A and B are shown apart, each in its own frame.
Chain A
Amino acid sequence: MNCDAVTKLIPLYYYGELTPDEEDQVDQHVHECAACGVSMEQQQSLAAALDRRKLDIPPLMLEDCRDDLMAAIAGGIPRQVKPEKGPWALFLEAMAATFAGFGRLRQPVAAVALILLGYLAARYSGAGAASLSAVPNDNVYSNVRSVKALNDGSVQITLDETRRREITGRLEDSNIQRFILAGSRDEDAAVRVESVGLLKNRADSQEALDSLLNALANDPNDGVRLKALDALKPVAGDPRVTKTLSQVLLTDANPAVRMQVIDLMVTRRDDSVVGVLQNLMQRENNSGVRLKASKVLKDWNASIGTF
Protein backbone atom coordinates (compact mmCIF):
# COMPACT_ATOMS: atom_id res chain seq x y z
CA MET A 1 0.00 0.00 0.00
CA ASN A 2 1.52 3.35 -1.01
CA CYS A 3 1.32 6.74 0.74
CA ASP A 4 -1.55 8.04 -1.46
CA ALA A 5 -3.73 5.07 -0.62
CA VAL A 6 -2.91 5.30 3.09
CA THR A 7 -3.66 9.04 3.18
CA LYS A 8 -7.17 8.29 1.91
CA LEU A 9 -7.65 5.60 4.54
CA ILE A 10 -6.39 7.52 7.58
CA PRO A 11 -9.73 9.24 8.42
CA LEU A 12 -11.54 5.94 7.97
CA TYR A 13 -8.92 4.22 10.16
CA TYR A 14 -9.49 6.82 12.86
CA TYR A 15 -13.26 6.32 12.77
CA GLY A 16 -12.99 2.53 12.77
CA GLU A 17 -14.49 2.17 9.32
CA LEU A 18 -11.85 -0.15 7.81
CA THR A 19 -11.87 -3.91 7.58
CA PRO A 20 -9.37 -5.71 9.85
CA ASP A 21 -7.16 -6.41 6.81
CA GLU A 22 -7.12 -2.77 5.75
CA GLU A 23 -6.35 -1.72 9.33
CA ASP A 24 -3.36 -4.07 9.42
CA GLN A 25 -2.02 -2.67 6.17
CA VAL A 26 -2.38 0.92 7.36
CA ASP A 27 -0.73 0.02 10.70
CA GLN A 28 2.18 -1.57 8.91
CA HIS A 29 2.66 1.35 6.51
CA VAL A 30 2.41 4.01 9.22
CA HIS A 31 4.93 2.11 11.30
CA GLU A 32 7.45 2.27 8.45
CA CYS A 33 6.63 5.68 6.93
CA ALA A 34 7.38 8.80 9.01
CA ALA A 35 5.29 11.13 6.78
CA CYS A 36 2.16 8.98 7.12
CA GLY A 37 2.85 8.68 10.85
CA VAL A 38 2.69 12.49 11.08
CA SER A 39 -0.49 12.48 9.01
CA MET A 40 -2.06 10.00 11.43
CA GLU A 41 -1.11 12.23 14.38
CA GLN A 42 -2.63 15.24 12.58
CA GLN A 43 -5.87 13.31 12.12
CA GLN A 44 -5.97 12.69 15.88
CA SER A 45 -5.19 16.35 16.67
CA LEU A 46 -7.91 17.50 14.28
CA ALA A 47 -10.46 15.20 15.90
CA ALA A 48 -9.39 16.36 19.38
CA ALA A 49 -9.73 20.03 18.38
CA LEU A 50 -13.17 19.37 16.92
CA ASP A 51 -14.27 17.43 20.01
CA ARG A 52 -13.76 20.60 22.02
CA ARG A 53 -16.26 22.36 19.81
CA LYS A 54 -19.14 20.06 20.72
CA LEU A 55 -22.16 22.04 21.81
CA ASP A 56 -24.51 20.90 24.57
CA ILE A 57 -28.21 21.52 24.50
CA PRO A 58 -29.09 24.44 26.82
CA PRO A 59 -31.04 23.38 29.91
CA LEU A 60 -34.82 23.22 29.44
CA MET A 61 -34.53 23.55 25.65
CA LEU A 62 -35.55 19.94 25.07
CA GLU A 63 -38.59 20.29 27.33
CA ASP A 64 -39.56 23.53 25.56
CA CYS A 65 -39.31 21.82 22.19
CA ARG A 66 -41.47 18.93 23.39
CA ASP A 67 -44.08 21.32 24.77
CA ASP A 68 -44.15 23.33 21.52
CA LEU A 69 -44.50 20.17 19.44
CA MET A 70 -47.36 18.77 21.49
CA ALA A 71 -49.05 22.18 21.49
CA ALA A 72 -48.79 22.33 17.69
CA ILE A 73 -50.28 18.85 17.43
CA ALA A 74 -53.05 19.69 19.88
CA GLY A 75 -53.69 22.86 17.88
CA GLY A 76 -54.89 20.81 14.94
CA ILE A 77 -52.04 19.54 12.77
CA PRO A 78 -53.74 17.20 10.30
CA ARG A 79 -52.73 13.61 10.58
CA GLN A 80 -53.49 10.42 8.75
CA VAL A 81 -54.08 7.41 10.93
CA LYS A 82 -53.43 4.03 9.36
CA PRO A 83 -56.92 2.48 9.13
CA GLU A 84 -57.62 -1.22 9.10
CA LYS A 85 -59.76 -0.48 6.02
CA GLY A 86 -60.59 2.93 4.67
CA PRO A 87 -64.18 4.23 4.92
CA TRP A 88 -64.45 4.22 1.12
CA ALA A 89 -63.32 0.57 0.96
CA LEU A 90 -65.79 -0.36 3.70
CA PHE A 91 -68.57 1.53 1.94
CA LEU A 92 -67.87 -0.12 -1.41
CA GLU A 93 -67.71 -3.52 0.25
CA ALA A 94 -71.04 -2.93 1.92
CA MET A 95 -72.53 -1.77 -1.39
CA ALA A 96 -71.08 -4.78 -3.18
CA ALA A 97 -72.56 -7.12 -0.59
CA THR A 98 -75.94 -5.41 -0.77
CA PHE A 99 -76.10 -5.34 -4.54
CA ALA A 100 -74.35 -8.62 -5.27
CA GLY A 101 -75.17 -9.54 -8.85
CA PHE A 102 -75.70 -5.92 -9.86
CA GLY A 103 -72.01 -5.30 -10.65
CA ARG A 104 -72.71 -3.01 -13.60
CA LEU A 105 -74.97 -0.84 -11.46
CA ARG A 106 -72.58 -0.54 -8.54
CA GLN A 107 -71.12 2.84 -9.39
CA PRO A 108 -74.36 4.66 -10.26
CA VAL A 109 -76.10 3.18 -7.26
CA ALA A 110 -73.20 4.19 -5.00
CA ALA A 111 -73.37 7.73 -6.40
CA VAL A 112 -77.07 8.01 -5.69
CA ALA A 113 -76.53 6.59 -2.20
CA LEU A 114 -73.81 9.16 -1.51
CA ILE A 115 -76.06 12.04 -2.57
CA LEU A 116 -78.80 10.67 -0.36
CA LEU A 117 -76.37 10.28 2.52
CA GLY A 118 -75.19 13.89 2.13
CA TYR A 119 -78.79 15.16 2.03
CA LEU A 120 -79.78 13.20 5.13
CA ALA A 121 -76.66 14.27 7.02
CA ALA A 122 -77.36 17.92 6.25
CA ARG A 123 -81.05 17.56 7.05
CA TYR A 124 -80.77 15.75 10.34
CA SER A 125 -77.46 16.86 11.85
CA GLY A 126 -78.83 19.50 14.16
CA ALA A 127 -77.47 20.90 17.40
CA GLY A 128 -75.82 17.62 18.30
CA ALA A 129 -73.29 17.72 15.45
CA ALA A 130 -70.02 19.66 15.54
CA SER A 131 -70.31 22.85 13.51
CA LEU A 132 -66.69 22.64 12.28
CA SER A 133 -64.73 19.79 10.80
CA ALA A 134 -62.53 18.22 13.46
CA VAL A 135 -59.62 18.08 11.01
CA PRO A 136 -58.76 21.51 9.65
CA ASN A 137 -57.92 22.16 6.04
CA ASP A 138 -54.19 21.98 5.15
CA ASN A 139 -54.02 25.74 4.57
CA VAL A 140 -55.83 26.68 7.75
CA TYR A 141 -53.96 26.55 11.05
CA SER A 142 -56.06 26.44 14.18
CA ASN A 143 -55.27 27.29 17.77
CA VAL A 144 -57.71 26.44 20.52
CA ARG A 145 -58.62 29.74 22.17
CA SER A 146 -61.15 28.48 24.72
CA VAL A 147 -62.96 25.32 25.75
CA LYS A 148 -66.28 25.52 27.59
CA ALA A 149 -68.59 22.76 28.86
CA LEU A 150 -72.23 23.63 28.20
CA ASN A 151 -75.19 22.68 30.37
CA ASP A 152 -76.62 20.28 27.80
CA GLY A 153 -73.48 18.11 28.02
CA SER A 154 -71.88 19.37 24.82
CA VAL A 155 -68.63 21.31 24.57
CA GLN A 156 -68.07 24.67 22.92
CA ILE A 157 -64.59 25.22 21.49
CA THR A 158 -63.38 28.54 20.13
CA LEU A 159 -60.62 28.37 17.51
CA ASP A 160 -58.36 31.08 16.13
CA GLU A 161 -57.71 30.20 12.53
CA THR A 162 -54.96 31.55 10.31
CA ARG A 163 -55.20 31.07 6.58
CA ARG A 164 -52.00 30.57 4.58
CA ARG A 165 -51.64 31.78 0.99
CA GLU A 166 -48.78 31.25 -1.38
CA ILE A 167 -47.75 33.92 -3.83
CA THR A 168 -45.20 33.31 -6.55
CA GLY A 169 -43.58 35.99 -8.62
CA ARG A 170 -40.33 37.48 -9.80
CA LEU A 171 -38.17 39.76 -7.73
CA GLU A 172 -38.76 42.63 -10.16
CA ASP A 173 -42.51 42.49 -9.45
CA SER A 174 -43.40 45.50 -7.27
CA ASN A 175 -45.93 43.45 -5.26
CA ILE A 176 -43.31 40.82 -4.49
CA GLN A 177 -40.89 43.57 -3.48
CA ARG A 178 -43.51 45.02 -1.16
CA PHE A 179 -43.92 41.67 0.59
CA ILE A 180 -40.16 41.20 0.85
CA LEU A 181 -39.78 44.63 2.43
CA ALA A 182 -42.56 43.72 4.88
CA GLY A 183 -40.83 40.37 5.47
CA SER A 184 -37.63 42.17 6.44
CA ARG A 185 -39.53 43.62 9.40
CA ASP A 186 -41.48 40.46 10.28
CA GLU A 187 -41.44 39.27 13.88
CA ASP A 188 -40.15 35.84 12.78
CA ALA A 189 -36.35 36.03 12.53
CA ALA A 190 -36.25 33.27 9.89
CA VAL A 191 -38.53 35.33 7.63
CA ARG A 192 -36.37 38.41 8.20
CA VAL A 193 -33.21 36.48 7.32
CA GLU A 194 -34.64 35.25 4.03
CA SER A 195 -36.18 38.62 3.15
CA VAL A 196 -33.04 40.58 3.92
CA GLY A 197 -31.05 38.11 1.81
CA LEU A 198 -33.37 38.71 -1.13
CA LEU A 199 -32.79 42.44 -0.88
CA LYS A 200 -29.14 41.89 -1.73
CA ASN A 201 -29.46 42.70 -5.40
CA ARG A 202 -32.00 45.49 -4.82
CA ALA A 203 -29.76 47.64 -2.61
CA ASP A 204 -29.74 50.30 -5.34
CA SER A 205 -33.38 51.04 -4.50
CA GLN A 206 -33.84 53.53 -1.70
CA GLU A 207 -36.46 51.48 0.16
CA ALA A 208 -34.37 48.31 0.05
CA LEU A 209 -31.26 50.17 1.23
CA ASP A 210 -33.25 51.71 4.10
CA SER A 211 -34.46 48.27 5.15
CA LEU A 212 -30.96 46.80 5.00
CA LEU A 213 -29.43 49.63 7.01
CA ASN A 214 -32.26 49.40 9.53
CA ALA A 215 -31.75 45.62 9.85
CA LEU A 216 -28.00 46.03 10.29
CA ALA A 217 -28.30 48.73 12.91
CA ASN A 218 -31.32 47.56 14.85
CA ASP A 219 -32.24 43.92 14.29
CA PRO A 220 -31.89 41.91 17.53
CA ASN A 221 -31.05 38.72 15.63
CA ASP A 222 -27.39 38.07 14.80
CA GLY A 223 -28.24 36.08 11.67
CA VAL A 224 -30.33 38.94 10.25
CA ARG A 225 -27.60 41.49 10.88
CA LEU A 226 -24.99 39.25 9.28
CA LYS A 227 -27.28 38.73 6.31
CA ALA A 228 -27.81 42.49 6.01
CA LEU A 229 -24.03 42.98 6.05
CA ASP A 230 -23.68 40.47 3.24
CA ALA A 231 -26.41 42.21 1.26
CA LEU A 232 -24.71 45.59 1.68
CA LYS A 233 -21.42 44.40 0.17
CA PRO A 234 -22.18 45.72 -3.34
CA VAL A 235 -22.89 49.21 -1.95
CA ALA A 236 -20.21 49.34 0.74
CA GLY A 237 -18.87 52.59 -0.74
CA ASP A 238 -22.18 54.46 -0.32
CA PRO A 239 -21.71 57.22 2.30
CA ARG A 240 -24.85 56.17 4.22
CA VAL A 241 -23.58 52.60 4.37
CA THR A 242 -20.13 53.70 5.52
CA LYS A 243 -21.67 55.80 8.26
CA THR A 244 -23.88 52.94 9.52
CA LEU A 245 -20.97 50.50 9.37
CA SER A 246 -18.89 52.82 11.56
CA GLN A 247 -21.69 53.06 14.12
CA VAL A 248 -22.31 49.31 14.10
CA LEU A 249 -18.62 48.57 14.52
CA LEU A 250 -18.54 50.58 17.72
CA THR A 251 -21.89 49.45 19.13
CA ASP A 252 -22.80 45.93 17.97
CA ALA A 253 -22.67 43.39 20.80
CA ASN A 254 -21.67 40.48 18.58
CA PRO A 255 -17.94 40.16 17.82
CA ALA A 256 -18.68 38.13 14.66
CA VAL A 257 -20.71 41.07 13.31
CA ARG A 258 -17.92 43.48 14.21
CA MET A 259 -15.38 41.25 12.44
CA GLN A 260 -17.47 41.24 9.28
CA VAL A 261 -18.03 44.98 9.49
CA ILE A 262 -14.25 45.40 9.47
CA ASP A 263 -14.01 43.15 6.40
CA LEU A 264 -16.55 45.34 4.63
CA MET A 265 -15.07 48.66 5.68
CA VAL A 266 -11.54 47.88 4.61
CA THR A 267 -12.26 46.97 1.00
CA ARG A 268 -10.67 50.34 0.20
CA ARG A 269 -8.33 52.51 2.23
CA ASP A 270 -9.99 55.55 3.69
CA ASP A 271 -8.71 57.94 6.37
CA SER A 272 -12.09 58.02 8.07
CA VAL A 273 -11.95 54.21 8.37
CA VAL A 274 -8.51 54.51 9.97
CA GLY A 275 -10.01 56.87 12.55
CA VAL A 276 -12.89 54.50 13.30
CA LEU A 277 -10.54 51.54 13.69
CA GLN A 278 -8.26 53.53 16.01
CA ASN A 279 -11.32 54.48 18.01
CA LEU A 280 -12.34 50.81 18.12
CA MET A 281 -8.92 49.81 19.48
CA GLN A 282 -9.54 52.10 22.47
CA ARG A 283 -12.64 50.22 23.54
CA GLU A 284 -12.66 46.73 21.97
CA ASN A 285 -12.50 43.83 24.46
CA ASN A 286 -12.71 40.92 22.05
CA SER A 287 -9.25 39.66 21.17
CA GLY A 288 -10.28 38.37 17.73
CA VAL A 289 -11.71 41.76 16.70
CA ARG A 290 -8.70 43.58 18.14
CA LEU A 291 -6.39 41.29 16.22
CA LYS A 292 -8.22 41.95 12.96
CA ALA A 293 -8.39 45.72 13.45
CA SER A 294 -4.75 45.96 14.48
CA LYS A 295 -3.72 43.91 11.44
CA VAL A 296 -5.56 46.29 9.11
CA LEU A 297 -3.99 49.34 10.76
CA LYS A 298 -0.58 47.69 10.52
CA ASP A 299 -1.09 46.84 6.85
CA TRP A 300 -2.06 50.44 6.20
CA ASN A 301 0.98 51.70 8.14
CA ALA A 302 -1.33 53.52 10.53
CA SER A 303 -0.70 53.73 14.25
CA ILE A 304 -2.86 51.57 16.48
CA GLY A 305 -3.72 54.35 18.92
CA THR A 306 -4.72 57.95 18.46
CA PHE A 307 -2.38 60.68 19.62
Chain B
Amino acid sequence: MAQDAAGAIGARVSPQVDTLIRAAQGGDQDAFEQLVRTYDQSVLRLAMNLLRSPEDARDVYQEAFLRVYRNLHAFRFDCSFHTWLYRIVTNICLDQLRKRKVRKEEAAVMETSDGPIDRMETFEEEAAGSDPERSMWNQELKQRIENALVGLTPRERMVFELRHYQGLRLRNIGEMLGTTEEAAKNCLFRATQKMRGVLGDFV
Protein backbone atom coordinates (compact mmCIF):
# COMPACT_ATOMS: atom_id res chain seq x y z
CA MET B 1 0.00 0.00 0.00
CA ALA B 2 1.47 3.33 -0.97
CA GLN B 3 1.70 6.13 1.55
CA ASP B 4 2.41 9.63 0.36
CA ALA B 5 3.87 12.54 2.25
CA ALA B 6 0.74 14.45 1.34
CA GLY B 7 -1.28 12.15 3.56
CA ALA B 8 0.74 13.20 6.56
CA ILE B 9 0.45 16.86 5.65
CA GLY B 10 -3.25 16.50 5.04
CA ALA B 11 -4.50 16.31 8.58
CA ARG B 12 -3.23 19.61 9.89
CA VAL B 13 -1.49 22.67 8.55
CA SER B 14 1.92 23.03 10.15
CA PRO B 15 2.81 26.44 11.60
CA GLN B 16 5.41 26.92 8.86
CA VAL B 17 2.87 26.25 6.13
CA ASP B 18 0.43 28.53 7.90
CA THR B 19 3.03 31.31 7.85
CA LEU B 20 3.77 30.66 4.17
CA ILE B 21 0.09 30.88 3.26
CA ARG B 22 -0.37 34.17 5.11
CA ALA B 23 2.76 35.63 3.52
CA ALA B 24 1.67 34.46 0.05
CA GLN B 25 -1.79 35.93 0.65
CA GLY B 26 -0.06 39.23 1.32
CA GLY B 27 1.68 39.05 -2.07
CA ASP B 28 5.02 37.47 -1.08
CA GLN B 29 6.12 35.66 -4.26
CA ASP B 30 8.87 33.64 -2.58
CA ALA B 31 6.41 32.36 0.01
CA PHE B 32 4.05 31.28 -2.77
CA GLU B 33 6.85 29.44 -4.51
CA GLN B 34 7.79 27.64 -1.28
CA LEU B 35 4.16 26.75 -0.73
CA VAL B 36 4.01 25.22 -4.21
CA ARG B 37 7.19 23.24 -3.55
CA THR B 38 5.73 21.83 -0.35
CA TYR B 39 2.82 20.18 -2.15
CA ASP B 40 3.55 19.97 -5.84
CA GLN B 41 5.26 16.60 -5.96
CA SER B 42 2.22 14.81 -4.58
CA VAL B 43 -0.05 16.79 -6.91
CA LEU B 44 2.00 15.82 -9.95
CA ARG B 45 2.19 12.19 -8.85
CA LEU B 46 -1.59 12.06 -8.43
CA ALA B 47 -2.15 13.54 -11.88
CA MET B 48 0.40 11.22 -13.48
CA ASN B 49 -1.00 8.07 -11.92
CA LEU B 50 -4.55 9.04 -12.62
CA LEU B 51 -4.20 10.33 -16.17
CA ARG B 52 -1.18 8.24 -17.26
CA SER B 53 -0.03 11.03 -19.52
CA PRO B 54 2.82 13.45 -18.74
CA GLU B 55 1.22 16.03 -21.00
CA ASP B 56 -2.11 15.93 -19.17
CA ALA B 57 -0.37 15.79 -15.79
CA ARG B 58 1.54 18.95 -16.64
CA ASP B 59 -1.71 20.67 -17.62
CA VAL B 60 -3.32 19.65 -14.33
CA TYR B 61 -0.30 20.88 -12.37
CA GLN B 62 -0.29 24.26 -14.12
CA GLU B 63 -4.03 24.78 -13.96
CA ALA B 64 -4.25 23.75 -10.29
CA PHE B 65 -1.49 26.01 -9.04
CA LEU B 66 -2.64 28.93 -11.17
CA ARG B 67 -6.08 28.56 -9.57
CA VAL B 68 -4.38 28.50 -6.17
CA TYR B 69 -2.43 31.63 -7.15
CA ARG B 70 -5.57 33.45 -8.25
CA ASN B 71 -7.73 32.38 -5.31
CA LEU B 72 -5.37 32.09 -2.38
CA HIS B 73 -6.80 35.30 -0.93
CA ALA B 74 -10.08 33.40 -0.45
CA PHE B 75 -8.51 30.62 1.66
CA ARG B 76 -9.88 31.15 5.18
CA PHE B 77 -8.12 28.37 7.13
CA ASP B 78 -11.47 26.67 7.79
CA CYS B 79 -10.02 23.41 6.43
CA SER B 80 -6.46 22.24 5.92
CA PHE B 81 -4.66 23.81 2.98
CA HIS B 82 -3.97 20.30 1.70
CA THR B 83 -7.70 19.57 1.55
CA TRP B 84 -8.39 22.92 -0.14
CA LEU B 85 -5.64 22.32 -2.70
CA TYR B 86 -6.79 18.75 -3.37
CA ARG B 87 -10.35 19.92 -3.93
CA ILE B 88 -8.98 22.02 -6.78
CA VAL B 89 -6.74 19.25 -8.10
CA THR B 90 -9.37 16.50 -7.92
CA ASN B 91 -11.91 18.72 -9.67
CA ILE B 92 -9.53 19.34 -12.56
CA CYS B 93 -8.59 15.65 -12.76
CA LEU B 94 -12.25 14.56 -12.65
CA ASP B 95 -13.02 16.94 -15.52
CA GLN B 96 -10.18 15.39 -17.50
CA LEU B 97 -11.37 11.85 -16.74
CA ARG B 98 -14.95 12.71 -17.70
CA LYS B 99 -13.77 14.16 -21.00
CA ARG B 100 -11.79 11.00 -21.60
CA LYS B 101 -14.75 8.77 -20.88
CA VAL B 102 -15.87 9.37 -24.44
CA ARG B 103 -12.65 8.01 -25.80
CA LYS B 104 -10.53 5.03 -24.93
CA GLU B 105 -7.43 6.92 -24.02
CA GLU B 106 -5.48 4.42 -22.03
CA ALA B 107 -2.76 3.74 -24.57
CA ALA B 108 -0.03 1.45 -23.35
CA VAL B 109 2.68 3.72 -24.67
CA MET B 110 2.97 7.42 -23.96
CA GLU B 111 5.09 10.15 -25.43
CA THR B 112 7.58 11.88 -23.16
CA SER B 113 10.37 14.34 -23.81
CA ASP B 114 12.68 11.33 -23.58
CA GLY B 115 10.77 9.52 -26.32
CA PRO B 116 7.95 6.98 -26.11
CA ILE B 117 7.84 4.85 -22.97
CA ASP B 118 5.63 2.01 -21.93
CA ARG B 119 3.17 3.23 -19.34
CA MET B 120 3.45 -0.06 -17.56
CA GLU B 121 7.20 -0.24 -17.55
CA THR B 122 7.24 -0.21 -13.76
CA PHE B 123 5.69 -3.64 -14.00
CA GLU B 124 8.20 -6.24 -12.96
CA GLU B 125 9.27 -8.38 -15.87
CA GLU B 126 10.37 -11.28 -13.74
CA ALA B 127 12.57 -13.47 -15.92
CA ALA B 128 10.33 -12.50 -18.81
CA GLY B 129 13.12 -12.93 -21.35
CA SER B 130 13.66 -16.53 -20.46
CA ASP B 131 10.01 -17.38 -19.85
CA PRO B 132 7.72 -16.43 -22.76
CA GLU B 133 4.69 -17.85 -20.99
CA ARG B 134 5.31 -15.65 -17.98
CA SER B 135 5.84 -12.65 -20.23
CA MET B 136 2.55 -13.32 -22.02
CA TRP B 137 0.81 -13.66 -18.65
CA ASN B 138 2.28 -10.31 -17.53
CA GLN B 139 1.13 -8.64 -20.73
CA GLU B 140 -2.36 -9.99 -20.29
CA LEU B 141 -2.42 -8.90 -16.64
CA LYS B 142 -1.33 -5.38 -17.64
CA GLN B 143 -4.07 -5.22 -20.21
CA ARG B 144 -6.65 -6.49 -17.74
CA ILE B 145 -5.62 -3.90 -15.15
CA GLU B 146 -5.94 -1.12 -17.71
CA ASN B 147 -9.36 -2.44 -18.73
CA ALA B 148 -10.39 -2.68 -15.09
CA LEU B 149 -9.42 0.94 -14.42
CA VAL B 150 -11.11 2.19 -17.58
CA GLY B 151 -14.29 0.45 -16.38
CA LEU B 152 -14.45 2.59 -13.23
CA THR B 153 -16.41 5.82 -13.11
CA PRO B 154 -14.20 8.92 -12.78
CA ARG B 155 -15.28 9.26 -9.16
CA GLU B 156 -14.53 5.61 -8.32
CA ARG B 157 -11.19 5.95 -10.02
CA MET B 158 -10.41 9.10 -8.02
CA VAL B 159 -11.36 7.56 -4.67
CA PHE B 160 -9.33 4.45 -5.45
CA GLU B 161 -6.31 6.48 -6.57
CA LEU B 162 -6.37 8.72 -3.50
CA ARG B 163 -6.77 5.76 -1.12
CA HIS B 164 -4.53 3.17 -2.73
CA TYR B 165 -1.74 5.21 -4.28
CA GLN B 166 -1.80 8.44 -2.28
CA GLY B 167 -2.60 6.76 1.04
CA LEU B 168 -5.20 9.34 2.09
CA ARG B 169 -7.89 8.50 4.64
CA LEU B 170 -11.41 8.05 3.31
CA ARG B 171 -12.65 10.78 5.65
CA ASN B 172 -10.26 13.27 4.00
CA ILE B 173 -11.12 11.97 0.54
CA GLY B 174 -14.82 12.53 1.21
CA GLU B 175 -14.06 16.05 2.35
CA MET B 176 -12.02 16.76 -0.78
CA LEU B 177 -14.69 15.42 -3.10
CA GLY B 178 -17.48 17.23 -1.30
CA THR B 179 -19.12 14.05 -0.07
CA THR B 180 -19.32 11.93 3.08
CA GLU B 181 -16.91 9.34 4.40
CA GLU B 182 -19.67 6.76 3.95
CA ALA B 183 -20.06 7.65 0.27
CA ALA B 184 -16.30 7.40 -0.20
CA LYS B 185 -16.37 3.94 1.45
CA ASN B 186 -19.12 2.80 -0.91
CA CYS B 187 -17.17 4.16 -3.86
CA LEU B 188 -14.04 2.29 -2.81
CA PHE B 189 -16.04 -0.93 -2.38
CA ARG B 190 -17.61 -0.60 -5.85
CA ALA B 191 -14.22 0.14 -7.41
CA THR B 192 -12.66 -2.89 -5.77
CA GLN B 193 -15.50 -5.19 -6.77
CA LYS B 194 -15.38 -4.01 -10.39
CA MET B 195 -11.64 -4.54 -10.58
CA ARG B 196 -11.85 -7.98 -9.06
CA GLY B 197 -14.56 -8.81 -11.58
CA VAL B 198 -12.41 -7.79 -14.54
CA LEU B 199 -9.16 -9.27 -13.23
CA GLY B 200 -10.96 -12.51 -12.39
CA ASP B 201 -8.57 -15.43 -12.06
CA PHE B 202 -5.52 -13.15 -12.29
CA VAL B 203 -5.82 -12.24 -8.62
In the assembled complex, the Cα of A12 lies from the Cα of B184 at a distance in Å of: 11
Q: Give, as a whole number of angstroms, the nearest-CB distance from A147 to chain B.
A: 17
Residues in A40-84 with C-beta less than 8 Å from chain B: 42-43, 45-47, 49-58, 61-62, 64-66, 68-70, 72-73, 77-82
In the assembled complex, the Cα of A66 lies from the Cα of B56 at a distance in Å of: 15
Contact status B108-A255, CB under 8 Å: yes
Contact status B135-A55, CB under 8 Å: no
Q: Which of B2, B61, B72 contacts A51 (CB 8 A)?
A: B2
Contact status A15-B58, CB under 8 Å: no
Contact status B112-A58, CB under 8 Å: yes
**Which residue of B is nearest A14, CB measured?**
B1
In the assembled complex, the Cα of A45 lies from the Cα of B1 at a distance in Å of: 12
**Within 8 Å CB of A190, what residues of B?**
55-56, 59
Residues in B50-71 with C-beta less than 8 Å from chain A: 52-59, 61-62, 65-66, 69-71
Size bracket of the A interface: 35 or more
Contact status B105-A223, CB under 8 Å: yes
Contact status A222-B122, CB under 8 Å: no
How many interface contacts (CB-CB < 8 Å) are there between A and B? 167
Q: Which of B1, B104, B140 contacts A230 (CB 8 A)?
A: B104
In the assembled complex, the Cα of A8 lies from the Cα of B188 at a distance in Å of: 10
0/1 per residue, A136-178, Cβ < 8 Å to B? 0000000000000000000000000000000000000000000
Given contacts A55-B52, A222-B110, A226-B105, contact A49 B188 (CB under 8 A): no
In the assembled complex, the Cα of A44 lies from the Cα of B53 at a distance in Å of: 27
Contact status A222-B59, CB under 8 Å: no
Contact status A49-B41, CB under 8 Å: no
Contact status B45-A222, CB under 8 Å: no
**B196 in the interface, Cβ–Cβ < 8 Å?**
yes
- Which chain B residues have a beta carbon within 8 Å of chain A's beta carbons? 1-2, 25-27, 29, 33, 36-37, 40-41, 44-45, 48-49, 52-59, 61-62, 65-66, 69-73, 99, 102-114, 116-117, 119-120, 122-124, 135-136, 139-143, 145, 163-165, 169-170, 185, 188-189, 192, 195-196, 199, 202-203
A-B contacts, 18 of them at CB < 8 A, read A12-B170, A42-B196, A49-B141, A51-B2, A53-B120, A53-B145, A61-B58, A66-B36, A72-B66, A81-B73, A82-B26, A82-B72, A221-B55, A230-B104, A253-B109, A254-B107, A287-B136, A288-B140
- Which chain A residues have a beta carbon within 8 Å of chain B's beta carbons? 8, 11-12, 14-15, 17, 42-43, 45-47, 49-58, 61-62, 64-66, 68-70, 72-73, 77-82, 189-190, 193-194, 197, 220-223, 226-227, 230, 253-257, 260, 287-288, 291
